[in-house]
Amino acid sequence: MASLRFQTFVILALTGLFTTVNPATAMGAPGVTGNTILLGESAAFSGPAAKLGEAMREGATAYFNEINQQGGVYGRQIKLVSLDDGYEPDRAVANTKALIDDKKVFALFGYVGTPTSYAVKPLIDVARIPFFAPFTGAQGLRAPVDRYIFNIRAGYFDETESLVDWLAYKHQTRIAVFYQDDAYGQAGLAGVTRAMDKRHLKIVATGTVERNTVNVDDAVKTIGKTHPDAVILISAYKSCAAFIKKLSVTNPDTVFMNVSFVGSEALASELGDAGNGVIISQVVPYYHDLAYGVTTEFKKVLAQEYPKSTASFNNLEGYIAAKAFVEGLRRAGQNLTRENFISALESFRNLDLGGFSLSFTPTDHNGSKLVVLTMITGDAGAFLPFWRADHAESTDQTASK
């Protein structure tokens, strides 16, 4: 009789009838329990690029908090562990090792910067961990496709193509480039060069600045003596502001153009009155543009979760990234693993997040091509959208500068 009871116990256990086990936990999915999903982020929360990391995290956590208050995803609360790297690659690597090995997060989310993202890429591939929505447009994170990297924003090739396209349209073809002397700056310079070559044009001058500094005097001197029609800037807000202020003294008619990573609101704040007419390419909609449902939704949630904060392009991007991530979790199902999450993301086909759409396939992890050129106006740092990458709805309302 005892032998029969033992045999029955074994049969029931093997067939799964004896007890119920959370499949995700049984399979050992890192960062996933019956009631939580743990994400990890390394970004700048100190230093000259701190506002970029803070805004990206703020927008993302606003959405995650909203979802958690509704019960989470399949009953699991989303938790984001954020570590400060000061926009320095070596610190990003140390943080990423801690997130993967010690915190054992399910995925990496919302990293800020090209040099930091490039530095951790080998760790991502070894760990086979999803790396979602890095705040960078670097081509090296886009092609060739990496199974574990998903970009929701258009790339720097897309942004610089739009900037050069508009300048060519305006017959302003004497173009210089001011860039950060690292992987980010090189990525932007490559994009400008590519767009110029396409039009059989040559960059008239280049100047560099070291990351996390505002030592721009040499670049101002080198570029200024060529009297360019325009300068495309590939750096963060403090160094770009320092360069614009100094060069505009001797070159008042030069047009200054930045890619989205600059931090639009932070740049406008640093520039003050000197910002009037400065152009910035954006990869998410203008947050006051009521044509996009996501902007109205975002501002409502942001006001609820962070009543003292104001809307920006950066925290809107964080919000959109979080919304897309949650959709991936939902599609992956209750038995969450990294691999079925990746497969779920690759099922996105023109996913409508409120006027902002995303598409992923197994051979293309670049979710969006949206680029909108905006201009800082004299109205307390407001932004005027005036040119889309596809030229649709372009109004070409440009200032004289």
pLDDT at 10 over 70: no
Question: Which residue segments constitute the domains of the chain, with CATH numbers given?
Answer: 25-154+290-358 (3.40.50.2300), 156-282+372-388 (3.40.50.2300)
Q: Residues 6 or more apart from 340 whose CB is under 8 A from it?
A: 332, 333
- Virtual CA dihedral for 14, 15, 16, 17, nearest 10 degrees? -120
370-383 residue pLDDT tens = 999 999 997 656 89
Mean pLDDT of the chain: 90
Q: Annotate 329-354 with DSSP letters as a single string.
A: HHHH-SS--HHHHHHHHTT-SSEESS
pLDDT at 101 over 70: yes
pLDDT value at position 398? 39
pLDDT value at position 290? 85
Confidence of residue 20 (pLDDT cuts 50, 70, 90): very low
In angstroms, the Cα distances linking 296 to 8, 256, 271, 300, 374 are 59, 30, 28, 6, 19
What is the pLDDT averaged over residues 315-321? 98
pLDDT value at position 397? 39
What is the pLDDT averaged over residues 299-317? 96
57-95 residue pLDDT tens = 999 999 999 999 999 999 999 999 999 999 999 999 999
pLDDT value at position 379? 64
User: Where is pLDDT greater, at 194 or 26?
Assistant: 194
pLDDT value at position 2? 44
Rounded distance between C-alpha atoms, residue 157 and residue 175, angstroms: 16
The type of residue at 333 is G
pLDDT at 24 over 60: no
pLDDT value at position 400? 30
pLDDT at 132 over 80: yes
21-35, 107-121, 123-137, 206-220: lowest mean pLDDT where? 21-35
Rounded distance between C-alpha atoms, residue 377 and residue 215, angstroms: 27
Dig out the tokens for 167 from the structure.
């300048």
User: Where is pLDDT greater, at 260 or 13?
Assistant: 260
What is the pLDDT averaged over residues 346-374? 97
HEC string of 238-306 equals HHHHHHHHHHHHHCCCCEEEECHHHCHHHHHHHHHHHHCCCEEEECCCCCCCCCCHHHHHHHHHHHHHC
pLDDT value at position 114? 96
Rounded distance between C-alpha atoms, residue 122 and residue 377, angstroms: 42
pLDDT value at position 72? 98
What is the pLDDT averaged over residues 121-144? 97
Strand order of the sheet with strand 77-84?
77-84, 36-43, 107-109, 131-132, 149-150
